[in-house]
Structure 1
Amino acid sequence: MTIDPATEGPGPAITPRTRARARHILDHYYIGPARNAEVLEIWGYSDRMTYMPGDRVALHVSTTAETWDLEIGRDGVTYEPLYQIDGLPGRHHATPADCSVTGCGWPVEHSLTIPADWRPGGYLITFRARSGDDMVEEHHLILVRRASHLAAAPYLMVCATGTWVAYNCWGGSNAYEGIAGPEGNAYSPVLSLDRPWTRGFCKLPDGAPRALPDRPPRPGDMVRYPYMEWAYAYGYSKKFASAGWASYERHFARWAESEGYDVEMATLHDLHRDPSLIDRYRCLIFVGHDEYWSAEMRDAVDGYVDAGGRVARFAGNFLWQVRIEGEGRQQVCYKYAALDQDPLAGTSQAARVTGAWEAAPVSRPGCQTFGANALRGVYAGLGNCAGRGAGYSVYRPEHWAFAGTGLGYGDTLGTGSRVFGYEVDGLDLVFRDGLPFATGADGADPAIQVLAVGLAANVESDHGTWGETRYIGWDDAAFRAKVIDGADTPETRARAARGNGVMIHWKRGQGEVFNAATCEWVAGLLRRDPQVTRISKNVLDRFGAE
């Protein structure tokens, strides 16, 4: 695959020599420091994720170059460079081997005050270092919110930073693979925020593939995962398509801005620290891959909706409870090993164990917040997991969310734009007179309106293709069988291999929730799918009204 070197955003093109170096540094699944002063590199992170005008931003930077350049710009519909300084003195700092757990510990190399005229949004930070005619460029991201004394926007988009942290493989470990996890784990249950974001989380070239291929595979094709192939070829993290600003929130923010919606931004970690910050907004927006939350984050949203707030969720895979520790700079999630290794297991605080929301002892199904459950769904359109699926089937076309779409009963939504996947949330359903209803067996409120349904799978189909290696085996289905049915048997595992994804509307307390329950909704906005666009506008227009 050839990438146009004139990538969107600031800065000169990345040279082939730089990409070759990146591939050399990439150690199969993670990106990190070369720990070699002869390798030209630069990395950086900030002391916080979100700032307001007047706040001081501290940048922790390490580089092997003698000098480095800094550029900061607002990453909106058009990129606006707003701050640039060249020739900053370069210093290379030792990085602990377990930096993904304990943090990098680099000193502050540059700081700045957010000017009063910086508008709310995502701000791309570009670090550049040169040696002779060679150059490297890496990226970071911060959010800027409107000053608290000013009137709030109608909408607050809450970025899925719990997932960003969990998938960040910079330095060696994340919540999936790792070099620093405890013995017997292939991942680290403790992850630090004091490290750079991995390559691809903050900025991507035009043409970078999404988690779902643009078109379903043809019958007989060997299963492939183009986004991983691309990542390995060009020196990006293979998790770039699963998390981060560049793949998800950025696209929704740019679309909303282009349509005239006034949207401010915050992070889930902001919400954990200050639950009251959401009270001044009419509508909360969640986008993309929204997998990891703390109980405090969730409590805040539950209280907000019960009190009359509205939630527009264009996201999927609401699965794991986390804890935020270490003065807010560490995220903890033991996941599958929670009952064996989480220190809170078996204590009076067992409900705070960092396992799946639907699993004991947490036993707080996601449907009680967003109207759908992760373990009733999961994979759609990924590899051979419903890889040739059509998207949603519409069942209640008379609902206001479908106004102006031209959709009728039984029509499919998002087939061409590939919005359904790569992970979706579902419900235990029963069909009566051709309409789906929530049974409530999984903790869902039977009053939830199920607007559309698609099919998902937790195991990749085996079509007998010689030489094929599939990515999704039986582990997810076995885990789901234990959680939902209490045991992993051939019968329960077969049941657990099947799932669904739902689009729902739910009037809860004094407020209401719309949930598309899919990670890839933004793909429909990127590809200008008129029906996906119309539904998005219908939801925002209704939920943002006074």
Structure 2
Amino acid sequence: MKKFILLFLGLFLWLGLITGTAEAETVQERIDGQNRFEVAVNISKKYWGNGAETVIVTNHLAFADALSASPLAYYKDAPILLTRKDKLTSETLKELNRLNPKEVIIIGGEGSIAPNVVTQIKESKISNLHTISRISGKDRFAVSENIAMKLPPSSSIILANGLIFADALSIAPYASIHNIPILLTRSNDIPSSTLKLIKEKKVAGVTIVGGNASVSKEIEQLLPVKERIGGKDRYEVSANIAEKLFPESRQSFIATGITFADALSGSVIAAKSKGPVLLTRPNHAPDLIHSYLVSRQPEKITIFGGQASVNESVVYKPGKWEIDKKSSSIQGYADKPSYQTGDDVSLYISSEFGYGAEIYRMGYYKGEGAALKKSVGYFSALNQSTKKPNPENLDANWVKTGQFSIPEDWESGMYLIKLVDSRLNASYIPIVINSNTQNEIGIVIATNTYQAYNNWGGKSFYGYNSTNKEPSINLSYHRPYLEGNGAGQFFKYEYNFIRWMEKKGYRLNYYSNVDIAKGKLEVDNPKLLIIPGHDEYWTKETRDSIEELTKQNLNLANLNANVGYWQVRLEKDGANIVSYKAKADQDPYQKLSPANVTTQFRNSPVNRPENQLFGSMYRGIPDKTYPMVITNSSHWIYEGTGLKDGDEITGVIGGEVDRYDGEIAGVELISRSPVNLYGKKSVSDVVWWEKPYGTKVFSVGTFNWNWFLDPYGHTDVAAYNRNIELMTENALEELLK
């Protein structure tokens, strides 16, 4: 059975990705108290606010008597309150008076709940109270039999170990919903009276809860067993019960698996809500519990008990795309940086613990920042981090852990696959999805630059973050990103602009660098291509494509700096990037094909400076952040701003900057801002260029522009600025004409 459940969960993971719509963030609540008595009282107050005709009272320590009580409580629509053996607590007594029941049922004999408690209830003078009854027996097994006799006739029973409380509590909501009695047994010896009751009731189907160690095969052979729901421990049993018996549930209840009281008190309301009770350790959720929550994406999670019972950090709240706890213990990558709708995506994931995954489309979404497209699990732990990457290109060489197909109706966009393990460690796998919808605007995601700076495995294209200060000349896409919790450089620049664009209602098609190198722009033929990120590394094919299209009908918006600076080559169908950079003289293409040498585009033998495409081009790294200085306020791009020459917008110029040096005719300076570059005075330029072919270019020449459209993640250095927004809107309006 265990293997079946795990297989089912695995199939659910991958098949579940094929369908499904966006899901909302899970609502989470906690019902707690200073102690277990208060927890029970607070559950009662919340769900029996108008009182109850029946109340069940059970001992807070004698769990054996109480194990079978939930179906009766559900049948009677009665809250379960807890008492000490010989005295009601003040909070319990007060709640009894508030509930004002006609009937109080005591569960357990006088050794469990003393006559003093009955006397205390009588003396409380509950105005509506007519009956105080007791269900007892010579032992816990007899108590369960006597409770069963109070339930409506049933052809089914549930059998659980009477010495291990957790299994009975996990099955209690299901048993309650269907009025199925819970009978108790020893692991290897079922009481004769229990066997007799099963025969007298003509039970046709017995569900055994727990593995063979809890209820032996010998006992199973004595009964008309319909099924067994087991697991390696109480937590796995509760997860398997939830998965098998609550397939449609959109609500889950969480309680500690160490003590019984909270789960007992909450089992009735779990049944009323048609949801399972999941058991957890106080300080971390077991793998299958965590993965159930990730895969099921419940609309609501209710925690029973205080922080000592279930710590706030234990239960993962699905639907939140942001990462709270970064860790290298879970990482992954996809087989490609980008896909078409309908494509298969292969994933390569390493995790020290079991985990689930959530897939988000990034955007604005009323300020939420992303839409959950699908939430899935379960993956078993598979730690691949000890494998040595390929020394030639840093390929991780991990085995494939899964595959899914992208639904045809998913929008083009930047998607983050969020991996979350049972210790709440998390990371992203980014993928670009391009659709066949032909939108006017294309957005470039600078995936080549992500990899150029990525030093996973010890190497990047830069000495400063490579082992022995020696950069690689060959990097693989088949490795996780270390930046951005696995998202690469996405959150640095592109995400801010995407949030703003989608907030404004623009319809976009998204392209990775690999898409453009493979000719996707020629197929889609957008009116405007926007480069919001630090898109520093281009192939010859990318430059050829964009340059040729701008001679026809493609306009450009370069909302960053240092774009198209290094020429690289893509190999292995786009899975590898080659860049000799400072070692360009060693590039074998010096002789084979000089036009493809991996050097700066402006350098020989390539000789294609970036300003031929953008009007301005990269000049350096300023020593600090500078204000943008308005120098051409009469230009139409400032319409609506009220800005005047000499006005400044603090913080806009920084990171790296572009400058126009007059080499290209027809380029208009929008803004010229003084900066210091390497100890010398210089400027950073915002330019507009109407090319001789009739196409147009807007280039801002700074890293920081997009942060002033939407400052998410950069509020320490930037804030929304209406004038930057107006300038961007004016430019886009002209570029889309």
Same-fold call, TM cutoff 0.5? yes
Match of 1:342 in 2: 587
How is 1:355-394 mapped onto 2 (pairs within 5 angstroms)?
355-374=599-618, 377-380=619-622, 385=623, 387=624, 389-391=626-628, 393-394=629-630
Deviation of the 1:421 alpha carbon: 1.6
Deviation of the 1:8 alpha carbon: 12
Asked if 1:518 corresponds to 2:702, the answer is yes
How is 1:106-505 mapped onto 2 (pairs within 5 angstroms)?
106-130=398-422, 134-146=423-435, 148=436, 150=437, 152-177=438-463, 186-200=470-484, 244-277=489-522, 279-318=524-563, 319-339=565-585, 341-345=586-590, 347=591, 349-374=593-618, 377-380=619-622, 385=623, 387=624, 389-391=626-628, 393-412=629-648, 414-415=649-650, 418-428=651-661, 438=662, 440=663, 445-459=664-678, 497-505=680-688
Q: 1:84 aligns with which of 366, 375, 389?
A: 375
> 1:420-475, CA deviations, whole angstroms, 9 ceiling, x for partnerless residues?
121011122xxxxxxxxx1x2xxxx222112211234442x5xxxxxxxxxxxxxx
> 1:294-343, CA deviations, whole angstroms, 9 ceiling, x for partnerless residues?
1111111111110021111101013211111222111111222212x222
Computing the radius of gyration from Cα coordinates, the structure with the larger value is: 2
Deviation of the 1:390 alpha carbon: 2.4
Match of 1:50 in 2: 338
Q: State the alpha-carbon separation in 2 of the partners of residues 446 and 68 from structure 1.
A: 57
Deviation of the 1:87 alpha carbon: 2.1
Q: State the alpha-carbon separation in 1 of the partners of residues 725 and 446 from structure 2.
A: 21
What's the secondary structure of 2:652's corresponding residue?
A: coil
Deviation of the 1:58 alpha carbon: 1.1
Deviation of the 1:10 alpha carbon: 2.2
Deviation of the 1:411 alpha carbon: 2.5
Closer, same or farther: CA 313–246 of 1 in aligned 2, 3 Å: same
Q: State the alpha-carbon separation in 1 of the partners of residues 616 and 318 from structure 2.
A: 36
Q: State the alpha-carbon separation in 1 of the partners of residues 548 and 377 from structure 2.
A: 47
Deviation of the 1:63 alpha carbon: 1.8
Q: State the alpha-carbon separation in 1 of the partners of residues 496 and 388 from structure 2.
A: 35
Instruction: Name the aligned partner's letter for residue 139 of structure 1.
Output: Y
Is the contact between residue 394 and residue 452 of structure 1 (CA under 8 Å) also seen in structure 2? yes
What's the secondary structure of 2:671's corresponding residue?
A: strand
What's the secondary structure of 1:48's corresponding residue?
A: coil
Give aligned pairs, total.
408
> 1:36-90, CA deviations, whole angstroms, 9 ceiling, x for partnerless residues?
xxxxx1211111222232111111112222x221111112213222212222222
What's the secondary structure of 2:449's corresponding residue?
A: helix
Closer, same or farther: CA 299–456 of 1 in aligned 2, 3 Å: farther
Closer, same or farther: CA 7–261 of 1 in aligned 2, 3 Å: farther
Match of 1:10 in 2: 320
Using the aligned pairs only, state the percent identity. 27
Is the contact between residue 675 and residue 684 of structure 2 (CA under 8 Å) also seen in structure 1? yes
Deviation of the 1:394 alpha carbon: 2.5
Match of 2:724 in 1: 532
> 1:148-198, CA deviations, whole angstroms, 9 ceiling, x for partnerless residues?
2x4x222111112221111112221111137877xx862112111111111
In the superposition, the TM-score normalised over structure 2's length comes to 0.52
In the superposition, the TM-score normalised over structure 1's length comes to 0.70
Deviation of the 1:279 alpha carbon: 4.7
Q: State the alpha-carbon separation in 1 of the partners of residues 596 and 471 from structure 2.
A: 20
> Higher helix proportion, which one?
2
Closer, same or farther: CA 96–13 of 1 in aligned 2, 3 Å: closer
Is the contact between residue 390 and residue 397 of structure 2 (CA under 8 Å) also seen in structure 1? no
Q: State the alpha-carbon separation in 2 of the partners of residues 360 and 281 from structure 1.
A: 32
Instruction: Name the aligned partner's letter for residue 609 of structure 2.
Output: P
Closer, same or farther: CA 520–198 of 1 in aligned 2, 3 Å: same
Q: State the alpha-carbon separation in 2 of the partners of residues 178 and 389 from structure 1.
A: 25
Q: State the alpha-carbon separation in 2 of the partners of residues 360 and 7 from structure 1.
A: 55
Is the contact between residue 389 and residue 397 of structure 2 (CA under 8 Å) also seen in structure 1? no
Is the contact between residue 685 and residue 700 of structure 2 (CA under 8 Å) also seen in structure 1? yes
What's the secondary structure of 2:382's corresponding residue?
A: coil
What's the secondary structure of 2:724's corresponding residue?
A: helix
Closer, same or farther: CA 100–405 of 1 in aligned 2, 3 Å: farther
What's the secondary structure of 2:349's corresponding residue?
A: strand
Asked if 1:74 corresponds to 2:319, the answer is no
Is the contact between residue 100 and residue 195 of structure 1 (CA under 8 Å) also seen in structure 2? no
What's the secondary structure of 2:607's corresponding residue?
A: coil
Match of 1:61 in 2: 349
Closer, same or farther: CA 178–501 of 1 in aligned 2, 3 Å: closer
Is the contact between residue 394 and residue 451 of structure 1 (CA under 8 Å) also seen in structure 2? yes
Closer, same or farther: CA 357–9 of 1 in aligned 2, 3 Å: farther
Q: State the alpha-carbon separation in 2 of the partners of residues 302 and 116 from structure 1.
A: 31
Closer, same or farther: CA 425–113 of 1 in aligned 2, 3 Å: same
Q: Which consecutive unaligned segments of at least 5 residues does structure 2 have?
A: 1-312, 711-718
Match of 2:81 in 1: none
> 1:283-303, CA deviations, whole angstroms, 9 ceiling, x for partnerless residues?
100013121111111111111
Q: State the alpha-carbon separation in 2 of the partners of residues 252 and 11 from structure 1.
A: 18
Deviation of the 1:280 alpha carbon: 2.1
Is the contact between residue 279 and residue 304 of structure 1 (CA under 8 Å) also seen in structure 2? no
What's the secondary structure of 2:359's corresponding residue?
A: strand
Q: Which consecutive unaligned segments of at least 5 residues does structure 1 have?
A: 23-32, 34-40, 204-242, 429-437, 462-496
Is the contact between residue 353 and residue 362 of structure 1 (CA under 8 Å) also seen in structure 2? yes
Deviation of the 1:514 alpha carbon: 0.9
Q: State the alpha-carbon separation in 2 of the partners of residues 138 and 188 from structure 1.
A: 25
Match of 1:221 in 2: none
Greater alpha carbon shift after TM alignment, 87-96 vs 447-456: 87-96
Match of 1:240 in 2: none
What's the secondary structure of 2:481's corresponding residue?
A: coil
**RMSD value over aligned CA atoms?**
2.6
Deviation of the 1:498 alpha carbon: 4.5
Is the contact between residue 350 and residue 383 of structure 2 (CA under 8 Å) also seen in structure 1? yes
Match of 1:484 in 2: none
What's the secondary structure of 1:315's corresponding residue?
A: coil
Deviation of the 1:265 alpha carbon: 0.9
